[in-house]
């Protein structure tokens, strides 16, 4: 089952990954269903985990790096009293302290959660996709030669205990990119003196994309059959939601197409950005027709830019996106018919 050739060109679709398959398998399903040759996702979910998987299609794969370190929100269940080598329910049990876990009170769980909020140092799990000398850590761990990477600074913006039903404790965590929720469970278990592992995980937000706008793999096929798939594909110009946007004049658009040097004046600013604290890390520039033209990094001189990505026009100048049928918020159709 595939879309008519050319129906989808470039953009982002948010998938609700089911449990039991890898993120790579879910992406393969998206590619096959939509009939696209090039696609990538912006952050792996473990096979047992569910939720937001941001899939970049076509030229939008070049935007993936801007999402990899974005903030994320998770709903999780922690199992107290049992530690595993993978820090989740798929691993081998390495320690049992169920009697100690039975003595832990709800107040102690909430107090422990509060201590893990803010900036903390976290050791990445030895069973992870991080690489050591080009080899994924999980492969080394499975061979019996685990490698522990140095601790990394992460931020837990909020950590709210939502439900306690011993030995399980549910919580919602909003965190920076690079945080591991299973490591968070293991660390909280040690803090409580009984050990713990991650029992269930659902990602509800990734880099500004939310579970409410996600579609399941089954729904994806239905949307293809009904011809409504483009209503759920986020155009590239709307995908970088946290990034300041500028609309280029036709003259500036031509300069971008030819890779000419740009200044803030080209983007309609009367002066440069000498105050570097007010200087955004990246900005996006769209054409008057609504297509993403480029992602730029302001230079430290407060005047010019460095090109990060440049995208060729997808239609003649003056032809705007078709409004089409009613669409989800932030999911306007930007594709050629």
Residues with catalytic roles: 46
Backbone angles phi, psi at 143, to 5 degrees: -85, 0
**What Cα–Cα distance (Å) separates residue 81 from each residue in 106, 159, 308?**
14, 20, 48
DSSP state for residue 88 in the 8-state scheme: B
DSSP state for residue 17 in the 8-state scheme: E
Q: Under DSSP, is residue 252 helix (H, G, I), strand (E, B) or coil?
A: helix
d(CA 271, CA 263): 9
* Beta carbons within 8 Å of 291's beta carbon, 6+ residues apart: 235, 236, 237, 311, 313, 314, 315, 334
Beta strand 131-132 pairing with 135-136: antiparallel
């Amino acid at each position: 089952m595939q879309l008519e050739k050319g129906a989808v060109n470039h953009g982002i679709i948010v998938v609700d990954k089911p449990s039991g398959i890898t993120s790579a398998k879910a992406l393969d399903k998206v590619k096959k269903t939509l009939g696209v040759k090039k696609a990538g996702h912006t952050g792996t979910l473990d096979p047992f985990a569910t939720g937001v998987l941001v899939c970049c299609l076509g030229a939008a794969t070049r935007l993936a790096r801007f999402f990899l370190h974005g903030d994320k929100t998770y709903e999780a269940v922690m199992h107290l009293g049992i530690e595993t080598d993978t820090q989740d329910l798929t691993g081998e049990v390495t320690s049992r302290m169920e009697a100690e876990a039975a003595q832990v009170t709800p107040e102690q769980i909430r107090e422990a959660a509060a201590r893990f909020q803010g900036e903390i140092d976290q050791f990445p799990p030895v069973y992870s996709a991080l690489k050591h000398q080009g080899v994924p850590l999980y492969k080394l761990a499975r061979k019996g030669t685990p490698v522990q990477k140095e601790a990394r600074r992460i931020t837990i913006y909020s950590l709210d205990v939502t439900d306690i039903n011993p030995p399980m404790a549910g919580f919602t965590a909003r965190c920076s990119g690079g945080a591991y929720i299973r490591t968070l469970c293991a660390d909280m278990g040690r803090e409580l003196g009984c050990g713990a592992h991650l029992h269930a995980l659902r990602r509800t937000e990734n880099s500004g994309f939310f579970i409410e706008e996600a579609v399941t793999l089954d729904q994806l096929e239905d949307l293809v059959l009904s011809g409504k798939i483009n209503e759920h594909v986020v155009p590239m110009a709307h995908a970088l939601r946290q990034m300041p946007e500028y609309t280029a004049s036709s003259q500036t658009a031509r300069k971008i197409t030819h890779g000419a040097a740009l200044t803030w004046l080209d983007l309609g600013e009367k002066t440069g950005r000498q105050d570097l604290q007010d200087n955004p890390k990246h900005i996006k520039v769209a054409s008057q027709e609504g297509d993403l033209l480029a992602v730029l990094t302001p230079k430290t001189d407060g005047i010019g830019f460095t090109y990060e990505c440049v995208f060729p026009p997808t239609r003649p100048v003056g032809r705007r996106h078709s409004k089409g049928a009613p669409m989800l918020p932030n999911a306007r159709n930007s594709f050629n018919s």
